[in-house]
Amino acid sequence: MKIQCGERGTVFNLEVNQRRKNTITGNVSTYEGKNQNNKAVYSSWQANFVGKAFEAAKELTNKDKIVILSANLTNSYSREKNRDYTTLTIFEFIKLEDKSDNEKIPIQNEQHEVETPPVYEEEYEQYEAENGGYVEV
């Protein structure tokens, strides 16, 4: 699923991925709303920062807030481990500097040149190869 412009998140545990070239891996927490008891509900996503997001993510620290401009959400299944893996691949984001920045959203695509990832599998593989695909260890 392709995600475009505006989803907010908080980053945690970012580190350079040793198995994948030009990739920073970590977790992104997103606000999902409130439950029936009026308590905040959050989702946590395993995330890869690639392309334009790779360099920008080097400047992030735990609990930094971001606005995702371009990303892809994938789910893959491992037969060997009998397990699903959901991954958020972030191509571009903006770091929110402080809480007041939260009021300046929504961000419109016209204000930022957003690189839209390819939709088709073959094009995505080519994009991934050109922008930091897998590296054998």
Do 27 and 12 form a contact (C-beta atoms < 8 A)? yes
Residue 137 pLDDT > 90: no
What is the pLDDT confidence band of residue 125, given thresholds at 50, 70 and 90?
low
| 85's tokens | 């893996």
Q: Which strand (E) or helix (H) includes residue 52?
A: helix 52-57
Give residue 98's identity as a one-letter amino acid code. D
Residue pLDDT, tens place only, 62-121:
999 999 999 999 988 889 999 988 899 999 999 998 655 455 454 444 444 444 444 444
Residue 125: phi, psi to the nearest 5?
Answer: -60, -40
Q: Which of 85, 75, 112, 93 is nearest to 11 (CA)?
A: 93
Phi/psi at 72 (5° precision) = -135, 135
Element (H, E) at 126: helix 121-130
Dump pLDDT digits (tens) for 23-48: 999 999 998 888 999 999 999 999 99
Nearest alpha-carbon partner for 57 in 29, 17, 19, 2: 17
pLDDT at 14: 97
Greatest CA separation found in the chain? 48
In DSSP terms, 42 is beta-bridged to 31
pLDDT for 2 equals 66
